[in-house]
Structures are given as structure tokens and as C-alpha cells.
Amino acid sequence: MKRNREQQGSRRDFLRSAFAVGVSSAVISVEQIRAASSKMRSTDNAKTFAFFRPEEAAFVSAAVDRFIPPDEEWPGAVDAGVVEYIDQQMAGKWGSAGYMYWHGPFKEGTPSQGYQLPLTPAELFRRAIAAINQHFTTQATPFHQLSTDKQDEYLETLLANKTTLNGVPSKVFADFLLQHTIEGFFADPIYGGNRNMVGWKMLGFPGPYADYYELIDQYGIKVDRDPVSIGSSPRHHAM
């Protein structure tokens, strides 16, 4: 299953394609997004979260940094604020299913019908991560202390739907986690992720500029400017 870096293509090209295609239609494996570097990052034990408990944050931090790992040029998911993004989503209205139709019957649906479980996203994350941490408690080594190869093997197992996590199909949880990892890396920083707009800088995306009036009569030029966030606009109103 392993391939050379030349076969995998560049990390930037892969993330650009995932961003352009959209999370829901991208078919992604851990092997595709494994970085050339296995550089480890230090953990800030003093960090507090609105939703995640310490043991949950430890797993999520390790997992998202395998989905989008750091390399010699760019930070990984954790340093880009992805864990904070997911934490805010789970602690907010989306995590409590405030934006979902939430009445039965709850039946197994087809992939095109989307999420069908009788759990809010926050409940799904809490239940699945508890099962994962319990599994590794019996193995004497928590997930975040495994080698990166072992972490990738386990994430592949989840994505292949080879286990159930407290009643949650592992692929459902793993797909949610991967989706939120990509969102947190590329969403506007106003939502807690994409710290310093690193995801946009990697792709060359300028952000939501209000207008290009000064360039309207210039054609075929490269627009080389720092990206702009919604929150940095003088007309921005807090949401």
C-alpha cells in the first residue's frame, strides 16, 4: 500500500484537490495524505476547550495531525488550529444538531441520504472517542503515544469500517473527523481554525476580498497579496 513520495504527489496538490472537490465527494485515504516528514509537535497541556475533555483532545490532536501532518514547509492540522475549530463546532449549535432535522424514524439510509444516526454530532464524537480510548487502555498505550505508523494503521481501520465504536460505525466517525479536519484547515479563521490563514497561503487562495476595483482594468496579471479573513474586514460584524 505504501508508495514513494513521487507516486503520491505533493502535499499541496493533494490538499488543493480536496479543497476544490469538496469534502463530501473526495475519496481520501490516510496513505494519500501522509506527509514526508514525521515531525512531532509538543502538546500544550494548559490548553482548555469548550467541549473536549483532556483525553478526548489528546486523541483528536494526534488523529488530525495524521490526516494533515506537519512537514518542513507547512504546519500540520494541530498548529493550524483544527482542534480548536472542531471543539467550537461540537460546543455550538451544530454539535447539538441545531441545524438538523431531528425527528424519527431513524433508519439505515443510503450514502446519498447523508447522516442517519439518532445521535447529535457532539454525542457521536463523545461516544466514539470514549470507545477508542477504552480500546487503547486495554492495550496499555494510548493512541497519541503510538508511533505514527501505528496511528495510521488504526485510522485506516476506522475508515474501512472494520469496527464499531459504542454503537457508532467507525467509518461514520472517521469520515466526520476527516471532514472537520479539512474544514478546520481551510475555513475562514473566524471559525477558529486556519490559524494565520495557513491553509489559504498553501493554496494561494486570497480570501474573501470585498472588491478588486483597483484591478478591474488589468488583465492577465498575477494577484500576489496576503489573504484576507472575514474577521479582518472593517465591515465585519460578529456572528
CB neighbours (10 Å) of residue 100?
A: 13
156 sits in the region (left: phi over 0; alpha: psi -120 to 50; else beta) called alpha
pLDDT digit string, tens, across residues 169-225: 999 999 999 999 999 999 999 999 999 999 999 998 888 877 777 778 888 887 777
Give the C-alpha separation, 170 to 160, whole Å.
Answer: 8
Given a cut of 80, whether residue 233 has pLDDT beyond it is: no
Stated pTM of the model: 0.78
Span 141-147, average pLDDT: 96
